[in-house]
A and B are shown apart, each in its own frame.
Chain A
Amino acid sequence: QKEVEQDPGPLSVPEGAIVSLNCTYSNSAFQYFMWYRQYSRKGPELLMYTYSSGNKEDGRFTAQVDKSSKYISLFIRDSQPSDSATYLCAMSGASGGSYIPTFGRGTSLIVHP
């Protein structure tokens, strides 16, 4: 079992839909939870991160962390075709003093007009 599990999709939604992307994890030492967006043939770019449990909102994006369930989510409101990309969750925690991010496989999102 991988430390971080993420459904690869693809997830296809119509423009304007609310999108829910999720990851589960097994390592209880993870403290920081990140979401990256990766367009085709580009490097990942950080969308947002949260520390420990709770919610964080940034524009149309909301990240949720439930450490008790080892489950994190990213919600995208009013999705746009430009949101079509692969979304990777990542998480890190103290391990020998370093916080090397562990990534999920990524979920491919397609928002069609």
Chain B
Amino acid sequence: GAGVSQSPSNKVTEKGKDVELRCDPISGHTALYWYRQSLGQGLEFLIYFQGNSAPDKSGLPSDRFSAERTGGSVSTLTIQRTQQEDSAVYLCASSYPPQTNTEAFFGQGTRLTVV
């Protein structure tokens, strides 16, 4: 597709379970971001990938959160032992060129509900 694709669009999970969220960026975009958006809140930065550089993980809220990007394309965000406070919309974005990242294209998001 032409845009950033995220799956699943909705995920309901039980507290304590692990979840994986997937992001397919726009082809050729070297930068990829994950953000989290809680109800009534802005976008909270989680992690940033740029080409083959080491990812910027400074926004990950705890060691239960991890992400990888395989082959410079698809990314997976994993949340282990989910908690109710993890409930949010998880947004993925990609951009090019990398120097300024001013035009980030977002996916529709994955709405995660932890019950």
Which A residues have a C-beta under 8 Å from some C-beta of B? 4, 6, 8, 32, 34, 36, 41-46, 49, 51, 88, 90, 92, 96, 98-106
Contacts and interface: CB of A to CB of B under 8 A. Distances in A.
Interface residues of B, number: 25
A101 B42 contact: no
Interface in B99-113: 99-109, 111
A37 B40 CA distance: 15
Contacts of A4: 42
A99 B103 contact: no
Contacts of B4: 43
B102 A100 contact: no
Given A44-B106, A98-B50, A88 B43 contact: yes
25 contacts: A4-B42, A6-B42, A34-B102, A42-B109, A43-B93, A43-B107, A44-B43, A46-B103, A46-B104, A51-B102, A88-B43, A90-B43, A92-B102, A98-B48, A98-B56, A99-B99, A99-B101, A100-B45, A100-B48, A100-B56, A101-B33, A101-B45, A101-B101, A101-B104, A103-B35
A49 B102 contact: yes
Max count, chain A CB within 10 A of own CB: residue among B4, B48, B104: B104
B91 interface: yes
Interface in B69-115: 91, 93, 99-109, 111
Contacts of B102: 32, 34, 49, 51, 92, 99
